[in-house]
Amino acid sequence: ARAVKRQAAKASGASVYDGEEILLALIAGKKYNDNECKKELEKYCKTLTDAELKPEKVHKKLKEFCENKKADSKCKELKEKLTQKCTAIKGKLTEAIKKKNSDLTDEDCKENEQQCLFLEGACPAELKDDCNTLRNKCYQKKRDKVAEEALLRAVRGGLINETTCEGKLKEVCIELSQESDELTKLCLYQKMTCKTFVLEKQKKCNALKQDVNAALEKKDELRGKCLPLLERCYFYRGNCEDISKCNKSSEDCYEYLPVCDTLAVKCEENKIIYTHPGSDFNPTKSKPTVAEDIGLEELYKKAAEEGVHIGKPPVRDATALLALLIQNLDPKSQVGKECEKVLKDNCKELKSHEILGDFCNQNVAGQNEIEKCKELEKELANSTKILFEKIKNKHLSGSGEVIPWYKLTTFLSDNDCTRLESDCFYLKSQAPLDKECNNLKAACYKRGLEAQANEALQKKMYGLFYGSGKEWFKKLLEKIMEECSELKTTSDELFLLCIDPLKAVRILAADIQARAVFLRKQLDQKRDFPTDKDCKELGRKCEALGKDSNQIKWPCHTLKQQCDRLGTTEILKQVLLDEHKDTLRTHENCTKYLKRKCHKWSRRGDDRFSFVCVYQNATCKLIVDDVKDRCEVFEKNMQASDINNSLKNKQIKTESAANICPSWHPYCDRFLPNCPDLKKGKTFCQNLKKYCEPFYKRKVLEDALKVELQGNLSNRNKCESALERYCTILKNVSDSSINSLCKDNTESKTKKTDNEVRKKLCLKLVEEVEQQCKMLPAELEHEEKDLKDDFETFEKLKKQAEKTMNKSNLVLSFVKKDENNTSKNSSKDKDKNTVSNGLQDTTEHMKILRRGVKDVSVTESEAKAFDLVAEVFGRYLDLKERCNKLESDCRVKEDCKDLEGVCGKIQGVCSKLKPLKVKPHETVTESTTTTTTTTTTVTDPKATECKSLQTTDTWITQTSTHTSTSTITSTITSKITLTSTRRCKPTKCTTGDDAEDVKPSEGLKMSG
């Protein structure tokens, strides 16, 4: 919320807040004119001093008020000035309240409301009644202005004359008449409404033209004025066109406001583009309502910034509408007679009214209607009595008197104000409700103005209001003083708060608790089954107030859970639709698919859809029902579309494909498999697919060409030169598809030259790049921030995964793929329990395998490590995919200077993205060969005789294979030979050779 800015304050500078008589009025109130004045000033100054606040910090003029023995002199000095000021404002008010609401100028309201706010407390007897009347008039003027603005937007282009206006008004009033009481009244008096609109048309057009020209002249200030002026151009320039005399090509066509086109160009150069309400195309959604089409909600938000809350009132019956019709008639006349008269005079116009139309038969009131009028007085008396009691219960009856502004209670909810103000709108003319209803409206107005001021301070202090004690109070007081130093002159209500900071602490703290009470009531009604709108509005309030109130903690928690579920369900729906499968065709398909997916997500540690996975049946019911509804809307929109028959008859021009195909074709792909009852829609999509096929083929080629020409697409001249060179090269390439873009391949008689084709192609490519240059910077800034955050999360998880893998000795590997993209094992070993430890495969299609060894138990630490690794790789693939997309978007950076910075950041993040390195499963083969040689020598006493030498050689060869886990990255085969020789006495050989010494063992030999 923003503080309500007052132009009156700006016009007179800061002096409006510097008047000493204003300060005296706010401090002493109605006691300024008697002996109590001095006491009030001294009391105020003492309060500031006790709170250790310097008066000059609150307001620079207060130092003189609070100096020793100055209070009495200040009272005497300012008393006469203040009395004169009250007298002067009394005269201005008397003149202002004589005017009709519609004749009051902005200055009448702003200046007089400001003076009433500052002086009414000092001079209540003189100002109370007139200030109340003025505020109610200005408040009603603001409400009327919003209603008129809404209807003017709704009938845009229909103000050629009163007849065309009435025709258009009849259409839009069917929807809009229930949006506010003021709209109900304007739609009830359609002839009068249209007469006013047509008479005011030219004045509004001239004002718009003048404002646009003024904005174009001041280029330095244009940026801040673009959006409001472009909005006015969109809604009102259509009413400025004289169709019989004007066309867009005419230089003398001033009424059509061509300056709006100039404004749009200049604003676009400043990177500001206006998007009108209801501009999003989605054939699976119902047509925007009139309220959505005119941006009614935004109009109401702007009104709220000025203290005017406008809510949708309860539906009214015939009694209330008849009471409204007789409001402006002679109050001395009998209700029954006035009712008969108004029906008689207006039956011709009212016969088409959805409620009052039943009272008119062939343009005249019938007997039953006359009877209804006779009963009206009794019904109104009863309704008036009920309303009086309701206002009394809100402490706003005032015993039949006007309640001063500073005594009005504001403990009212939005719903209280909407319902009670609506009742007063229809019944206010009925005695004794006039003053009671004025008190009510003034209280709702005060509530709205103070809410803006309170929130302007509170939004910078959330979290500080929950506490107690001196230290808490002191801290809060210091913060209020800090904020008031900047904000106190931005609105009159903020000035009032900041002049008495101690009171402001109590007001703001109490306001927080009051808002929490009303929020709790809203949450009790909506938290379990919120809508998207509830999630945004109530979620925002919970975030703000939750830091300072315990009573909404759990209701807000419940709301957040339900809103998270809604948001996640919507994301899941889009994910499933993007798969172009029939997953959402039936509830059974959905639950079966979701069960499988949820299991997979759970194993991977992907918790994006954990909430919907807990409630799979409820989630599927919600999604399937929503898709079913969208299918029905899709079917209707296809049948209603003007391209339906054209597709059948092949009457659509090829040039139209750029508008039709991207708009309709994606919805066919997403919804056709999931819409079992589509009949005509199926044919429509089939025809559309055939029609769009050439467009998409050419689009692929154009996108490829944009890559080839990057750096040359900033203007047409560079593009044409580069394209000429590129096409010359392509002439020598026989199988180049892109070459088809360089010439006219049609067989028409009016075949274009190659130069014409290339110029047209360059114009298209340059325009596309220009559009990308406008849209991409903001999009990529957001994407870059998300990418950076997710990358940091990924890095933390990756380090955690590495640590967990090492600790658990987890063995993992990637599945290698051959040239046919099929899994293979690089080992020659055919054993299915072995896994290759070859090079890491970093392709997109990663698949992590657990070890395949049989009869090996998996520990808990290994299981946790595996799940963590799976999550890390899942995040890696997601980030890699996003990097590929973002880097693709950044290809145009050479033609868009604004993209260099953000694309550099994206490239910096993506260049650091590395997959997790896993520890492979290895096979180590050890071959051990042991050779044992035993030599036994038998010695005979007869040394000279040749004896038989008995030698026993025993060879023992043992080969064992042992598989173990190791961090070694190669296969090791070892051959170990151990030779042992027994020493014995040499003998003479039978061969005749000389005996030799037996050599000792040479020890362990290893080869491998």
- Given a cut of 90, whether residue 895 has pLDDT beyond it is no
Rounded distance between C-alpha atoms, residue 369 and residue 342, angstroms: 11
In the predicted model, what is the mean pLDDT of residues 824-833? Answer: 42
**pLDDT the model gives residue 92:** 93
CB 480 within 8 Å of CB 486: no
**pLDDT the model gives residue 539:** 94
Residues 68-79 pLDDT 10s = 777 888 888 888
Residue 739: count of CB within 10 angstroms of its CB: 18
Q: Give per-residue burial for 475-501: e unless 16+ CB within 10 Å, then b.
A: ebbeebbebbeebbbbbbbbbbbbbbb
Question: 């206002």: which residue's tokens?
Answer: 391
Q: Where are the alpha helices (DSSP H) in 29-70?
A: 36-50, 55-58, 62-66
- Of all residues in the chain, the percent with pLDDT exceeding 90 is 39
**pLDDT the model gives residue 965:** 44
- Given a cut of 80, whether residue 991 has pLDDT beyond it is no
Rounded distance between C-alpha atoms, residue 820 and residue 275, angstroms: 50
List CB contacts of 2: < 8 A, sequence separation 6 or more.
305, 452, 456
List CB contacts of 374: < 8 A, sequence separation 6 or more.
336
Q: What is the CA radius of gyration of the chain?
A: 43
Q: State the pLDDT confidence band at 809, using cuts at 50, 70 and 90.
A: confident
Residues 832-872 pLDDT 10s = 333 333 334 434 445 554 444 444 566 777 777 887 887 88
Averaging pLDDT over each range in 238-242, 762-766, 925-929, which range is the top one? 762-766
Q: Phi/psi zone of residue 217: left (φ > 0), alpha (ψ -120 to 50 degrees), beta?
A: alpha
Rounded distance between C-alpha atoms, residue 66 and residue 45, angstroms: 6
CA distances from 229 to 260, 300, 306 (A): 8, 18, 20
Q: State the pLDDT confidence band at 90, using cuts at 50, 70 and 90.
A: very high
Rounded distance between C-alpha atoms, residue 76 and residue 498, angstroms: 25
Q: DSSP string spanning 130-173?
A: HHHHHHHHHHHHHHHHHHHHHHHHHTTT--SSHHHHHHHHHHHH
Q: State the pLDDT confidence band at 509, using cuts at 50, 70 and 90.
A: very high
Q: State the pLDDT confidence band at 244, using cuts at 50, 70 and 90.
A: very low
List CB contacts of 176: < 8 A, sequence separation 6 or more.
150, 151, 154, 183, 187, 290, 291, 296
What sign does the dihedral 894-899-905-911 (CA atoms) show? negative
The pLDDT mean for the chain works out to 81
In the predicted model, what is the mean pLDDT of residues 39-67? Answer: 90
Rounded distance between C-alpha atoms, residue 825 and residue 772, angstroms: 46
Residues 583-620 pLDDT 10s = 999 999 999 999 998 888 887 667 788 888 888 999 99
Residues 945-978 pLDDT 10s = 444 444 445 454 444 444 444 444 444 433 333 3
Query: Does residue 432 have a cis peptide bond before it, meaning omega lies within 30 degrees of 0?
Result: yes
Name the token pair of 250: 């005419």
- Given a cut of 90, whether residue 627 has pLDDT beyond it is yes
CB 79 within 8 Å of CB 119: no
CA distances from 23 to 65, 89, 491, 932 (A): 9, 17, 16, 116
Residues 474-488 pLDDT 10s = 999 999 999 999 998
| Residue 110, amino acid | K
What is the phi/psi pair of residue 476, to 5°? -65, -40
Residues 363-381 pLDDT 10s = 555 566 677 788 888 888 8
**pLDDT the model gives residue 909:** 92
Residues 130-151 pLDDT 10s = 999 999 999 999 999 999 999 9
